[in-house]
Structure 1
């Protein structure tokens, strides 16, 4: 059945502060900043709010870029502890929203991590993802420790996979994540990633919500790689409604049944063709019908099953062809 989720991307320019500011004043300023930024989307009653990477790491200057000394960042991270996260938890509880908060934290072993913490509607942390693929300076100069695995977090609204910035460059991470079948990728970042955002969404057959430092645009992308909503050069927040009861199907074999599906169910299902890639996005738009039901009834198979069968057929043919050697 339809599983509509209202998602918001909230971003901003990096937070710039005077390096002489006290830890307490800096923390208060960051809490005020993100409280005000999140307030811009609360009238839309989002189910999920995604914040950018390093939302809690101040800069001494944005352009040209000038960082706080790493020792000062480490001291502030220790001082901050969970205080900013706890302030976001209060917003989550008050508004029945989930918040993906991305920033530095010190883990249970005392290691500095670049993490996304997913806060639930009860204010508790549902799951934590540690950035797997760090830049060389991030690890070698700033002392951040690598995460060890790409992961999916099971939540009450679906299977969510946080991904952070430099991660998007690595096919190894994508190959690890895609078989876990996330339904929603949360991309918190300081760099945009360009078409790689669309590539990851399509490869994982998942919606992707990005939150990237302004003045980059932060798109929300469908499982067939289409931008369905985006921040703009004028507004650094965006909210839209997506439906997680969907599947990506190849037109081969399935296509001959699409007319029968529409004749029977009409507007209760959507069969959307993005063009050029030979796939459609099948979505259930009714509370009394699911994509799984439709696929079973009409003998439809998702694109990964179809591609898998195609590979098996190739292997069989090559094994039987004496000229293949």
Structure 2
């Protein structure tokens, strides 16, 4: 069993006079997420543009030249409360612009960044540059990324990161992604975390919502309740296509008893198996019973997919 609690934080794009006001609000909710037991907080896309409505200037005017110094109040709050942070920003990188999220560890150190791979039309016109990315390492997990419209290009954005062993995807966004995101969770067999202020969503590997909410809520618009959503996810788990694996499930359950949890998704023909014991890994379970993940099962049936599939990836 390897459980992590992940939180999303919704932030309004109204009522902020400047960036420091945005960061103070974000810091308040990052602290609240930590108090509630979150290991990682994910903020919505380009938080340094949220005060833009109070000014008459194009987005590029708000790009940060020295993001570390300019976001110190938020970074220091996260480090003080020992919570990791996904911090999405529009930044200047030399002569160009980049839409990125930076991944910060519990002590505030930088673990790397993800840069938007498919900038939208307005971003391209403003000079925002695309980039190809590799997943980031975070507390023993491989964290894949996407930003906003990236989600609609899964073959070029998600496939390479899955082949590099991504255990989950975090997506700061200004688009809701909708049912498309549900299908991605099922297709890739990993959790997806969408930080979208109107309606953030945390999806398990079966595409089902573990948590959802945001400023579409009448309660939140009335300044009641919390803009924070969070869920505990077990990453010691796997999606199995029923063919080949299904005949072994009953024996697996009898062998491990309460050390495993098994769910069957009839409509998608999938079993979801997770370890519920600290001394039993999903890798051990799969080796013991000769199981194969949904992704690898289909890869062996499709020669083209098989050539792209990573031997490391078991999820």
Short-chain TM bin: 0.7 to 0.9
1:128 paired with 2:113, answer: yes
- CA apart distance, 1:290: 0.8
- CA apart distance, 1:256: 1.1
1:39 paired with 2:31, answer: yes
**Residue aligned with 2:47, SS:** coil
Out of 121, 139, 164, the residue aligned to residue 124 of structure 2 is 139
Per the normalisation by structure 1, the TM-score is 0.84
Distance (Å, rounded) in 1 between the aligned partners of 2:236 and 2:188: 15
Structure 2 gaps of 5+ residues are 220-225, 307-315
1:115 paired with 2:100, answer: yes
Distance (Å, rounded) in 2 between the aligned partners of 1:178 and 1:169: 16
1:245 paired with 2:236, answer: yes
Out of 169, 175, 184, the residue aligned to residue 200 of structure 1 is 184
1:160 paired with 2:143, answer: yes
Out of 255, 278, 289, the residue aligned to residue 287 of structure 1 is 278
Q: Which residue of structure 1 lines up, in the alignment, with residue 263 of structure 2?
A: 272
**Residue aligned with 1:309, SS:** helix
Distance (Å, rounded) in 1 between the aligned partners of 2:66 and 2:296: 47
Distance (Å, rounded) in 2 between the aligned partners of 1:79 and 1:15: 24
Are the structure 2 counterparts of residues 98 and 68 from structure 1 closer, same or farther at C-alpha, using a change threshold of 3 Å? farther
Are the structure 2 counterparts of residues 129 and 60 from structure 1 closer, same or farther at C-alpha, using a change threshold of 3 Å? closer
Structure 1 gaps of 5+ residues are 19-25, 316-325
Out of 20, 26, 43, the residue aligned to residue 28 of structure 1 is 20
Contact 1:45/1:95 (8 A) holds in 2: no
1:105 paired with 2:91, answer: yes
Q: How does 1:146-185 map to 2 (within 5 A)?
A: 146-147=130-131, 149-171=132-154, 172-185=156-169
**Residue aligned with 1:40, SS:** helix
Q: Which residue of structure 2 lines up, in the alignment, with residue 5 of structure 1?
A: 4
1:89 paired with 2:75, answer: yes
**How many residue pairs are counted as aligned between the two chains?**
294
- CA apart distance, 1:263: 1.0
**Residue aligned with 2:277, SS:** coil
Q: In the TM superposition, what whole-angstrom CA distance separates every residue of 1:146-195 from its partner, at most 9, and x where no partner exists?
A: 22x13200222410012100101114323333322311110100110111
Q: Which residue of structure 2 lines up, in the alignment, with residue 227 of structure 1?
A: 209
Per the normalisation by structure 2, the TM-score is 0.86
Distance (Å, rounded) in 2 between the aligned partners of 1:34 and 1:59: 13
Looking at CA atoms only, which structure, 1 or 2, has the larger radius of gyration? 1
- CA apart distance, 1:85: 3.3
Distance (Å, rounded) in 2 between the aligned partners of 1:185 and 1:274: 22
Distance (Å, rounded) in 2 between the aligned partners of 1:58 and 1:245: 36
**Residue aligned with 1:264, SS:** helix
Q: In the TM superposition, what whole-angstrom CA distance separates every residue of 1:87-134 from its partner, at most 9, and x where no partner exists?
A: 232122212211001111122x34211100001112111011110101
Are the structure 2 counterparts of residues 157 and 307 from structure 1 closer, same or farther at C-alpha, using a change threshold of 3 Å? same
Q: Which residue of structure 2 lines up, in the alignment, with residue 53 of structure 1?
A: 45
